């Protein structure tokens, strides 16, 4: 039955009172700040809002399900999940099946805030997530017929609200308590605006007020069928469009409705959060956790398909959840201690065979640090590096089939050690060989700093570096700053060589892994001068040059090309030596 829902303000009041709630089958809030801004612009322009779909749950059925509230103050790390309302017994429930993203966008924009990670800061850094509120620039042009958006909405830190040069940023949430007419006019008159600006500001603010308080844009269809299977089918069909609804969203929704003792939604999200707080973080997702759950519990088909989300499979995940959780934490700890982070792990699927192996051998929590597992750790590390170094991409097409076959190999192995040879044979049969041809070795010897495989290659070449605590840097042997045209000219380099030198500056022939403190000490010093000053003993200087395959280091930039070509050649042979081992014939 179609029903009117009133204004946006009416809907927000119901959300605040938990009169509109989210059923456990709902997914998380996934809209980005720019989507919210465009959505508010559309509402201001009077575009159709779309009909919502609500599920009316009768009081005698309300205790059968778990409910969630709407996100208010979204924090990508600390508060990304819908608040758990638990079980609401003997209540008339209006649960949102379609419209969650739109209603949450209103809730965040008009009552809450967003804190999204900024680039270049670690996930664990609290300064990486500045709190921002939705603002509307009241002085922006609103008659731009050639523009996709007409009103200027943005998320800004609250101290930026107010008058700034040609902007007048209004905190959108303040419109909820603002009366129309005189109240708005008084607010604008306090801002020292010219007459034309006052008119423009008032016109925009008035449009915002009408959109929130007056326009009757909320309409919904009420589904009253109490059968959860029927409702689940409606939910899947309704959420197959719009913002992408992944199969992991469906799996989590179904798991949540079928787990008997635990709250699947809460458990999965908490595990994702905990995994991403280990070291610098791998930026893992619920997709990874749920795929791991299917793989580790030997569910025959690990594809994200609705037919695989049976009650039996979901209960198998719940029964083994503690072990799954502990195994994934151990797996991530292990990979972090290998020195990897979210930038250097090209495909998190590479972790799944490792996790399955640790799961099957019932590995202890100190597996990654106990010396008795040293040989096993070395085999795992070497396999992981190889799978990452392959330019063709091991973890792309045919992923589920490959993972299933690797799982079978590990399951049937004797488990004395990580079964490297058996795994490689299976990978060869799938066209995923970890052998490296001469051409591939040449390509590796030319790798650039921007390549996501660069850490894996440098780690392979630098077994003497302690990667465990991530206190290492990728260092330019000849400082990058020395390759500017001005300094090259001052060094007496012919202009026709500038391009060749600059091209090689960021390639592996001029790169090395250094301890972070040592690299800070080195800074932009020329390598010959720095080594001479740091190592007073000639034997130490020679040892340093030997382990990094540096050879004879010129004191001036004029000798760089000769140095680079010689070191590249040495690196090529060392890479071939390290990759062409008996385990990978």
How do residues 88-121 score in pLDDT, each as one tens digit?
Answer: 889 888 999 889 999 999 999 999 999 999 988 8
Q: What is the pLDDT of residue 357?
A: 96
Q: Which of 239, 317, 260 is nearest to 28 (CA)?
A: 239
What CA–CA distance (Å, rounded) separates 31 from 34? 8
Among residues 240, 264, 289, the one where a domain terminates is: 240
| 44 and 185, same domain (yes or no) | yes
Torsion of CA 143, 145, 151, 153, to 10 degrees: -140
Report the number of secondary-structure helices (H) and strands (E) in the chain.
23, 15
Q: Sign of dihedral through CA atoms 456, 458, 464, 467? A: negative
* Residue whose tokens read 């500056």: 505
What CA–CA distance (Å, rounded) separates 323 from 331? 12
Tens of pLDDT along the chain (585 residues) come to 788 889 999 999 999 999 999 987 777 899 999 999 999 999 999 998 888 999 999 999 888 777 899 999 999 999 998 998 877 889 888 999 889 999 999 999 999 999 999 988 888 898 999 999 999 999 987 665 556 789 999 999 999 998 888 899 999 999 999 998 888 888 888 888 888 888 999 999 999 999 999 999 999 998 888 877 677 777 767 765 544 455 567 678 778 777 888 888 889 999 999 999 999 899 999 999 999 999 999 999 998 776 676 778 888 999 999 999 999 999 999 999 999 999 999 889 999 999 999 999 999 888 877 788 888 999 999 999 999 999 877 888 889 999 999 999 999 998 778 999 999 999 999 999 999 999 999 999 999 999 999 999 999 999 888 887 667 889 999 999 999 999 988 989 898 888 999 999 999 999 999 988 888 888 889 999 999 999 988 899 999 999 999 999 999 999 999 999 999 999 999 999 999 877 765
Q: Sign of dihedral through CA atoms 518, 524, 525, 526? A: positive
| 263 and 361, same domain (yes or no) | yes
Q: Does any domain span residue 452?
A: no
Half-sphere exposure of 334 (CA within 13 A, CB side): 30
Q: What is the pLDDT of residue 246?
A: 58
Q: Does any domain span residue 453?
A: no
What CA–CA distance (Å, rounded) separates 569 from 445? 8
Q: Does any domain span residue 442?
A: no
What CA–CA distance (Å, rounded) separates 361 from 51? 52
Beta strands in 101-152 (DSSP E): 113-115, 131-137
Among residues 397, 413, 434, the one where a domain terminates is: 434
Quick one: tokens of 397? 């097409």
Q: Does any domain span residue 528?
A: yes
Contact between 474 and 458 under an 8 Å Cβ cutoff? The reply is yes
What CA–CA distance (Å, rounded) separates 510 from 526? 12
Cβ neighbors of 73 (< 8 A, separation 6 or more) are: 79, 108, 112, 113, 115, 131
Q: Does any domain span residue 446?
A: no
Q: What is the pLDDT of residue 307?
A: 67
| 216 and 252, same domain (yes or no) | no
Classify strands 162-164 and 472-476 as parallel, antiparallel or unpaired: unpaired
Q: What is the largest CA-CA distance in the chain?
A: 87
| 429 and 478, same domain (yes or no) | no
Q: Does any domain span residue 125?
A: yes
Contact between 584 and 437 under an 8 Å Cβ cutoff? The reply is no
| 259 and 392, same domain (yes or no) | yes
Any idea what DSSP says for residue 260? S
| 217 and 261, same domain (yes or no) | no
DSSP string, 450-489: TSTTHHHHHHHH-TTS--TT--EEEEESS-GGGGSHHHHH
Cβ neighbors of 470 (< 8 A, separation 6 or more) are: 279, 280, 336, 339, 341
| 512 and 375, same domain (yes or no) | no
| 161 and 278, same domain (yes or no) | no
Q: Which of 329, 333, 299 is nearest to 316 (CA)?
A: 299
What CA–CA distance (Å, rounded) separates 222 from 226? 12
Half-sphere exposure of 111 (CA within 13 A, CB side): 17
User: How many domains is the chain built from?
Assistant: 3
| 306 and 189, same domain (yes or no) | no
Phi, psi (deg, nearest 5) at residue 511: -125, 150
Q: Does any domain span residue 18?
A: yes
What CA–CA distance (Å, rounded) separates 369 from 130? 36
Q: What is the pLDDT of residue 146?
A: 52
- Reported as a single tens digit per residue, the pLDDT across 235-274 is 767 765 544 455 567 678 778 777 888 888 889 999 999 9
| 227 and 266, same domain (yes or no) | no
Q: Does any domain span residue 584?
A: no
Quick one: tokens of 118? 């900024």
What CA–CA distance (Å, rounded) separates 438 from 221? 64
SS3 label, residue 135: strand
Any idea what DSSP says for residue 391? T
- Residue-range definition of the domain harbouring residue 381: 246-434
| 110 and 222, same domain (yes or no) | yes
Among residues 180, 211, 240, the one where a domain terminates is: 240
**C-alpha distances in Å from residue 204, one per residue of 44, 150, 187, 191, 217:** 9, 11, 13, 15, 19
What CA–CA distance (Å, rounded) separates 528 from 184? 69
**Type and span of the H or E element at 538:** helix 538-547
How far is CA 146 from its chain centroid?
A: 35
| 275 and 398, same domain (yes or no) | yes
């Amino acid at each position: 039955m179609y029903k009117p829902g009133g204004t946006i303000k009416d809907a927000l009041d119901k959300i605040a009172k938990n009169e509109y709630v989210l059923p456990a089958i709902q997914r998380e809030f996934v809209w980005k700040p720019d989507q919210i801004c465009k959505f508010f612009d559309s509402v201001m322009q009077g575009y159709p809002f779309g009909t919502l779909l609500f599920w009316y749950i009768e009081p005698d059925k309300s205790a059968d399900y778990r409910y969630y509230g709407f996100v208010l103050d979204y924090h990508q790390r600390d508060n990304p999940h819908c608040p758990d309302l638990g079980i609401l017994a003997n209540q008339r429930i209006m649960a949102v099946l379609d419209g969650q993203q739109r209603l949450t966008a209103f809730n965040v924009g008009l009552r809450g805030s967003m804190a999204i990670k900024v680039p270049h800061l670690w996930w664990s850094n609290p300064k990486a997530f500045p709190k921002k509120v939705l603002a509307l620039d009241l002085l922006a042009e609103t008659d731009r017929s050639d523009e996709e958006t007409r009103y200027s909405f943005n998320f800004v830190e609250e101290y930026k609200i107010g008058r700034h040069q040609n902007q007048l940023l209004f905190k959108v949430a303040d419109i909820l308590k603002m009366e129309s007419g005189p109240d708005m006019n008084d607010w604008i008159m306090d801002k020292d605006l010219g007459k034309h600006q006052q008119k423009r500001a008032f016109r925009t603010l008035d449009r915002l007020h009408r959109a929130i308080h007056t326009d009757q844009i909320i309409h919904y269809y009420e589904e009253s069928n109490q059968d959860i299977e029927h409702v689940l089918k409606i939910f899947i069909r309704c959420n197959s469009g719009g913002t992408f609804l992944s199969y992991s969203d469906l799996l989590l929704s179904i798991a949540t409705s079928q787990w008997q003792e635990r709250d699947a939604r809460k458990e999965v999200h908490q595990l994702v959060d905990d995994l991403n707080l280990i070291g610098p973080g791998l930026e893992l997702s619920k997709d990874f956790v749920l795929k791991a759950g299917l793989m580790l519990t030997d569910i025959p088909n690990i594809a994200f398909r609705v037919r695989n989300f049976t009650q039996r499979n979901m209960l198998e995940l719940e029964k083994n959840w503690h072990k799954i959780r502990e195994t994934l934490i151990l797996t991530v700890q292990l990979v972090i201690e290998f020195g990897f982070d979210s930038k250097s792990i090209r495909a998190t699927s590479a972790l799944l065979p490792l996790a399955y192996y640790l799961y099957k051998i019932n590995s202890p929590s100190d597996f990654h640090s106990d010396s008795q597992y040293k040989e096993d750790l070395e085999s795992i590390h070497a396999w992981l590096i190889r799978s990452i170094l392959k330019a063709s991409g091991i973890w792309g097409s045919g992923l589920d089939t490959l993972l299933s076959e690797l799982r079978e190999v590990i399951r049937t192995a004797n488990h004395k050690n990580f079964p490297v040879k058996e795994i490689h044979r299976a990978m060869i049969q799938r066209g995923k060989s970890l052998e490296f041809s001469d051409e591939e070795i040449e390509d590796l010897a030319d790798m650039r700093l921007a390549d996501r495989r660069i850490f894996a290659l440098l780690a392979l070449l630098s077994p003497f570096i302690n990667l465990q605590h991530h206190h290492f840097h990728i260092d330019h042997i000849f400082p990058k700053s020395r390759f500017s045209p001005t300094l090259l000219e001052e060094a007496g380099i012919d202009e026709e060589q500038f391009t060749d030198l600059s091209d090689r500056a960021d390639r592996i022939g001029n790169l090395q892994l250094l301890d972070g403190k040592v690299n800070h000490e080195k800074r932009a010093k020329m390598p010959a001068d720095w080594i001479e000053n740091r190592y007073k003993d000639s034997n130490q200087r020679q040892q340093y040059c030997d382990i990094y395959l540096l050879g004879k280091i010129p004191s001036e930039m004029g000798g760089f090309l000769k140095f680079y070509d010689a070191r590249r050649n040495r690196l090529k042979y060392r890479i071939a030596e390290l990759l062409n081992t008996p385990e990978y014939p």
